Amino acid sequence: MSKKWLYWFEELNSGHNDLVGKKCANLGEMTGLGMRIPPGFAISVEGYERFMAETGAGELIRQYVRDNVNELKNVRKQVEASRTIRQIIESQEMPPDMRDELYRYYEELKQRAGEDEIAVAVRSSGAVSMPGQMETYLNVRRKESVVRKVIEVWGSAFTTRAIAFRLEKGMPLDKAPIGVAVLKMVDAKSAGVVLTVLPTVGDTSKVVVEGNWGLGESVVSGEITPDQYIVDKESGCVECTVNKKTKMIVYKDSGTAMTDVPGDIQAKPCVDEKELKEIVRIAKEVESYFNCPQDMEWVLDCSGCCPENLYWVQARPAKYSKTKEKEAEYLAELMTRMFKS
């Protein structure tokens, strides 16, 4: 009997990182905390392994890597390898039993969302953190498209960036088992990120919220200059910088597109005072729960009012510069660098 390979988020927690990848495990943990997470499910690493074994794609990739391993340190060869391996994966059809089970989960997801048709995000979830190196597909509609995008996410584990990363880390090149998150899209009024630390200076007394109109990918990708709010954790004092936001990412019939922000809201803040307070409140609670600064992604639904329309789609430890608490610590590090140079 085949192993279980599909899980609802409520079946998971942060201890399931190796089973479903960091993103899915964290979504499970957040669900358990009672946070508002879009309904969805995880495809485990076992799903990837089954697909590779049953379609023969895994053996084709292993043979390709064996034949070319001595050349893969060359950047041009990495580009060629990415193109070849992704073609191997993406040319395969999902085995019928896997396809039908994935269809069943998608149909139940529609029931859970209370909608006849839904759009979903299909996101990579690596057991090893590789931010920005694998693909995310937004506004995916119909079960057939979901299956196709899952296969493409598996293929994206072999982007040129991902291959270079594994070479640098001494990781195997012929396999990259990852999980996949499938979750209902939120009809975003605005979206963005929150960090419970000032990342450039390591100031843990502050929370930074950044956002834009529409979907949050415009903020995460750095394509626009978002609104920024720096909030003191103790006093609640806010330093607010509202920028003119001329572009945003929105749904189209399938997928997403960059479009112009309506002129009457370009210079308006994309969150109000109540929404900002709620984003900061929850971010601080999550930081306290995990006992480390957090990097989180939030979305405000067009319908409803805060806090009911606030959703969370990511939470992970924040990367930031460490502050030097003592002069002696700074001098010791400086001397170490001098002796190494």
Cα-flanking dihedrals φ and ψ of residue 271, to 5°?
A: -135, 150
How much is the pLDDT for 328? 52
| Residue 164 amino acid letter | A
How much is the pLDDT for 329? 53
What distances in angstroms separate CA 140 from CA 23, 71, 166, 201, 213, one per listed residue?
Answer: 19, 37, 29, 39, 20
Task: Just give the CATH number of 188-317.
Answer: 3.30.470.20
pLDDT of residue 249 exceeding 50? yes
User: Per-residue pLDDT tens for 65-93?
Assistant: 999 988 998 999 999 999 999 999 999 99
User: Per-residue pLDDT tens for 149-196?
Assistant: 999 999 999 999 999 988 988 888 888 889 999 999 999 999 999 999
Q: Given pLDDT bands bounded at 50, 70 and 90, which one contains residue 200?
A: confident
Range of lowest pLDDT (45-49, 141-145, 304-308): 304-308
How much is the pLDDT for 339? 46
Q: Say how far apart CA 293 and CA 287 lie, in whole Å.
A: 5
Output the average pLDDT for the chain.
91
pLDDT of residue 326 exceeding 60? no
First-to-last C-alpha distance (Å) of the chain: 58
Listed by start position, the domains of the chain span: 6-184, 188-317
How much is the pLDDT for 320? 82
Cα-flanking dihedrals φ and ψ of residue 265, to 5°?
A: -120, 0
Enumerate residues 6+ apart whose C-beta is below 8 A from 2.
50, 97
Q: Say how far apart CA 179 and CA 238 lie, in whole Å.
A: 38
Average pLDDT on 247-260 reads 89
Tokens 């998608």 locate to 106
Enumerate residues 6+ apart whose C-beta is below 8 A from 143.
102, 103, 106, 107
Whether 45 contacts 177, CB under 8 Å: yes
Range of lowest pLDDT (54-58, 84-88, 276-280, 331-335): 331-335
How much is the pLDDT for 245? 95
The residue with greater pLDDT, 324 or 234, is: 234
Q: Which of 218, 208, 220 is nearest to 249 (CA)?
A: 218
pTM of the model: 0.87
Q: DSSP per residue over 140-206, as a string?
A: EESHHHHHHHHHHHHHGGGSHHHHHHHHHHT--SS---EEEEEEEPP-EEEEEEEESSBTTTTBTTE
User: Per-residue pLDDT tens for 27-61?
Assistant: 999 999 999 999 999 999 999 999 999 999 999 99
* CATH fourth-level superfamily of 6-184: ATP-grasp fold, A domain (3.30.1490.20)
Q: Is the C-alpha dihedral spanning 63, 66, 67, 71 positive or negative? A: positive
**Strands, DSSP E only, in 267-337?**
294-301, 310-317
Tokens 């002696």 locate to 328
